[in-house]
Amino acid sequence: MPPLASGIENRPYAFALRDKLYVIGFLLGSGLLLFLGHNLLPQARVLLTWGLSFGGATAAAVLGVLLYRLQLQLKASRHELARREVELRIANEVQQALFPHHLPSDGGIEFSAICVPSSGISGDYYDVLKLPDGRTIFAIADISGKGVSAAIIMANVQAMLRVLAASALEPREVCRKLNDHLYEVTDASKFATFFYAEWNPSERRLRYVNAGHNAPLLLGDGRQERLEVGGMPLGMFLAAEFRTGAVCLKPGDTLVLYSDGITEAASKAGEEFGEERLEGLVKSLCGRPLAEIQENILTRVRQWSAGVPEDDMTLMIARATTLPGDRHSTVQQEGT
C-alpha cells in the first residue's frame, strides 16, 4: 500500500509539470502560426478567417488540456478511493477479529451477541470471557464518536479489559483502572459508556458496574429490573469512583444489554424506538432461544427505522441456566 499512496501524493506535481509543457507547446504553435500569417493581416477577409482559426485552435487546445487533466484527476481519485476502501476493509476485518467468536454456554449462563456497524467500522464493543476459576466476565460499551478513531479506542478498551479481568479485581476497581487509562490516552472529547459484569456460578450471583451505559433489562418469572448501579462514563474524569451492584439470578432469568443505536433508532416521523418498546418486545419473546430473541429485536428495529442505521447497534442477551443448588435472593448493592 505505501507505494500506491506515494504515487498518488506525487500526481499533483506531475499534473502541474505536464500542464505547463502542454501550454508552452500550444503557445509556441500559436506564435508560429501568428508569425507565418503576419503578411496576410492587412487583408480583412483573410484576417477574419485566420483570427477565427487561431482562436478556435487555441480554445480547443486549452479545452483539451483541461479535459486531459480532469481525466487524470478522476483516475487518481479512483485509486485513492480504492486505497481507502481497502484500508477500511482491513480495519473492519481486524475489528471483527476482536469480538469473541465462541460465546460460552456452560457455567450457569449462556449468551447471544451481535454488533451491527452503521458505517463499516464500529465504535461499539462487547466481550465475553470465561476465566480459569469458573467466573464469566462480560461487558458492553459505546465509544464516543464514530469511524476509525472510535474503533481504535474500542480495541484499546478490549485489550485493557482482558488484562484487568484476569487479575481478580473487584468490578469497581476494574472500571476505575479502565477510566484512568482512557483519561490518560485520549483527549477530553473522548469517553465510553460501559457496562461490566462478573458472573459467579457457585453463588449464582452477578456483580456489575454500570458506567453511564443504557441500563440493561433483567426479566424473569414475575421479575423486571434495570441494572443501574455504577457511576459516570469512562474517561471523563481522572480518579472517578464507581459502585458495584449485585443481583442473584434464577434459571431462566434473562438479561438484555444494548447500545443506544437500538433504542434511538428513529422512524421516518422522527420517533425513537425507545426503551419501553424494547422492553415490551423482550417480554413477549422471553422464553424463546436467545438467537431468536436477538433476530426478532434487530428485525423490529430495522423495520421501525426503515433504512440503514444511523448509529452502531449492539445487542447482547444473557440467560441463567440450571446448576445444582440453585438459590435466589434479592438485588444487593455493595459499598464503594
Compute the mean pLDDT over every residue in the chain, rounded to the nearest whole number: 80
Of residues 249 and 328, the one with the higher pLDDT is 249
Residue 28 confidence (pLDDT): 62
The pLDDT tens digits for 98-120 are 678 789 888 899 999 998 887 76
pLDDT at residue 91 above 70? no
Q: What is the pTM of this model?
A: 0.72
pLDDT at residue 93 above 70? no
- The arithmetic mean of pLDDT across residues 167-196, rounded, is 92
Residue 172 CB-half CA count within 13 A: 15
The total of other beta-carbon atoms located within 10 Å of residue 261's CB is: 26
Residues 254/218, Cβ–Cβ less than 8 Å: yes
Cα end-to-end distance, the chain, whole Å: 51
pLDDT at residue 268 above 80? yes
Residues 273/262, Cβ–Cβ less than 8 Å: yes
The Cα 205–Cα 127 span in angstroms is 19
The DSSP code for 266 is B
Confidence of residue 30 (pLDDT cuts 50, 70, 90): low
**In the CATH scheme, what is the homologous superfamily, with its name and number, of domain 102-333?**
PPM-type phosphatase domain (3.60.40.10)
- The arithmetic mean of pLDDT across residues 150-164, rounded, is 86
Look at strands 205-211 and 230-231 and give their pairing.
Answer: parallel
- The arithmetic mean of pLDDT across residues 306-323, rounded, is 85
- The arithmetic mean of pLDDT across residues 68-92, rounded, is 68
The pLDDT tens digits for 271-313 are 999 999 999 999 999 889 999 999 999 999 999 988 666 788 9
Residues 326/251, Cβ–Cβ less than 8 Å: yes
Which residue ranges make up each domain of the chain?
Answer: 2-94, 102-333
- Which residue in 140, 226, 144, 123 sits closest to 186, CA to CA? 144
The pLDDT tens digits for 187-210 are 888 899 999 999 999 999 999 999
pLDDT at residue 24 above 50? yes
The Cα 7–Cα 19 span in angstroms is 18
Q: How many residues does the chain have?
A: 336
- The arithmetic mean of pLDDT across residues 135-154, rounded, is 85
Query: One-letter amino acid identity for 126?
Result: Y
Confidence of residue 19 (pLDDT cuts 50, 70, 90): low
| Listed range (122-126, 210-214, 251-255, 269-273) with the worst mean pLDDT | 122-126
Residue 332 confidence (pLDDT): 46
Question: In the numeric block, which cell numbers belong to residue 333?
Answer: 448493592
What residues contact residue 222 under an 8 Å CB cut-off, 6+ apart?
none
Residue 222 confidence (pLDDT): 81
Residues 326/204, Cβ–Cβ less than 8 Å: yes
Of residues 159 and 49, the one with the higher pLDDT is 159
- The arithmetic mean of pLDDT across residues 251-270, rounded, is 92
Residues 310/260, Cβ–Cβ less than 8 Å: no
